[in-house]
Amino acid sequence: MITVKDKVVIITGAGQGIGKGFAESLASDGAKVVIAEINEEKGKQVANDIKSAGGDAVFVATDVTKYGAVQSMVSATISTFGKIDVLINNAAFYYNITRAPFVDLSEQEWDRMMAVNVKGTWNCCRAVAPQLIKQGSGKIINMASASAFKGNSNFLHYVASKGAVISMTRALARELAEMGGNGITVNAIAPGSTETGVREKLEDILQKLPGDKKNTGPMASRILKRPETVEDIVGTMLFLVSDASDFITGTIIAIDGGSSLH
Ligand SMILES: NC(=O)c1ccc[n+]([C@@H]2O[C@H](COP(=O)([O-])OP(=O)(O)OC[C@H]3O[C@@H](n4cnc5c(N)ncnc54)[C@H](O)[C@@H]3O)[C@@H](O)[C@H]2O)c1
């Protein structure tokens, strides 16, 4: 049976969108969740809503770009729950990014992207590693993106950052298996463009782009011609958190209605 009951799961960026959906679903299935979010108001709200619904959650204000803050979040998790079963590296610079040809992206935005999506993932992995190694068990789930397989236009900084997340997933799977006596796994989920209700629909953003770029929306390349939702991703996440996935490592699971098959 697939169960996540009593698993201690850190979810970065769980104040909204996919991470919030993960936190709510894990908590309702009996996991103890840590909302590691930079936005205090949103992070607290998610933790409070989970607790009001009878779940177990704690909010820890965390900026994943700052290693000291991530270390404090990890210490808070261990002192609250006594262990770490899973880290979900979900925080990203995403919903409010600039979508533009690569020559028009600012250096400042490029650096921010790499700081949150790439360095942030590394920071969280290196902060939890000592505890996972001590336990001889644990799982890391990184949020990649199908856009890294497809090489989508108009957000090169984001696509590049998710390419890095995919490569880090593979390398970390090797390193942590060795360090953790074969009890630590590292995998990634690569969603397609997912409607979370947070940002403007991608279809609408694309319609504002000039000329031939208008018809390159996510549905065009998808085998399953319908919008992707957070619920489409949750089942795979629960499986990866559970013991049922213990022998899977270094894998990138595309959840994109088949769009990266082309
Ligand atoms: N929504 C999609 O279409 C889609 C598609 C593929 C992959 N993804 C990936 O899934 C994950 C979640 O996507 P989403 O749509 O919910 O994103 P989102 O932008 O709506 O949410 C990201 C969350 O991360 C938080 N965050 C940002 N910087 C942070 C920092 N420095 N420290 C801690 N938290 C920080 C934000 O406050 C926010 O709550 C991301 O990794 C994203 O790249 C999303």
Domain ranges (residues) in the chain? 8-261
- Taking alpha carbons only, the member of 139, 258, 251, 122 closest to residue 188 is 251
Q: What is the pLDDT of residue 191?
A: 98
Within 13 Å of residue 82, how many CA atoms lie on the same side as its CB?
Answer: 2
Q: In the numeric block, which tokens belong to residue 27?
A: 């908590």
Q: Residue of the nearest CA to atom 38 in ligand 1?
A: 13
Of 71, 93, 94, 202, the one to substitute when testing ligand 1's pocket (max ligand atoms within 8 A of C-beta) is 94
Ligand 1: which atom is nearest the Cα of residue 198?
Answer: 20
Q: What is the pLDDT of residue 221?
A: 86
Say if CB 167 and CB 239 are below 8 A apart: no
Which residues, 6 or more positions from 255, have their beta carbon under 8 angstroms from its beta carbon? 146, 189, 190, 191, 192, 228, 232, 233, 236
pTM of the full structure: 0.96
> Which residues' Cβ are closer than 6 Å to ligand 1?
12-13, 15-19, 37-39, 42, 62-65, 90-95, 116, 120, 143, 145, 191, 193-194, 196, 198
For residue 22, report the distance from its CA to the centre of ligand 1, in Å. Answer: 12
CATH class for the domain made up of 8-261: alpha beta
Q: What is the pLDDT of residue 147?
A: 97
Say if CB 186 and CB 86 are below 8 A apart: no
Q: What is the pLDDT of residue 262?
A: 74
Q: What is the pLDDT of residue 214?
A: 53
> Would you please indicate which residues are annotated as catalytic (active-site) residues?
158
For residue 94, report the distance from its CA to the centre of ligand 1, in Å. Answer: 5
CA-based torsion, 173, 177, 237, 127: positive or negative: negative
Low-confidence ranges of the chain (pLDDT < 50): none
